[in-house]
Amino acid sequence: MCEIFMSADPALWQAESRSLRLGGVSTSLRLERMFWSVLEEIATRDRLSLAQLITKLYDELCESRPEVGNFTSFLRVCCTRYLSLQLTGTIPTDRRLPLRGIPVHH
């Protein structure tokens, strides 16, 4: 089983930091390159820059929760959930289709 995962390009799990403003504060987020790639795909689908997408996710999370907690972990879960929902057919795999407007099922 490990060979399935070990055959991945090591560059995918290499951590990379990016700087942006969240809640009016300059900050740096450190994620593995694979997560940055998935976030960029999500942003592109809705015609947002990566910074706009992350800001939108942060703002919506702050509105829905009294405490944000570990935001980078939240972003990793967003990426994993996005890929999982594509596998189940809940989110179309056609990258030209925006995610906005897709009904949310819990």
Span 53-62, average pLDDT: 95
pLDDT at 1 over 90: no
Residue that wins the pLDDT comparison between 2 and 72:
72
Give 2-36 pLDDT, tens digit per residue: 888 888 888 888 999 999 999 889 999 999 999 99
Average pLDDT, the chain: 91
Q: Locate the DSSP E strands across 1-106.
A: 15-22, 25-32
pLDDT at residue 4, as a whole number:
84
Phi (first) and psi of residue 54, to 5 degrees: -65, -40
Residues 6+ apart with CB under 8 A from 31: 15, 16, 18, 39, 72, 75, 76
Span 56-81, average pLDDT: 93
pLDDT at residue 54, as a whole number:
97
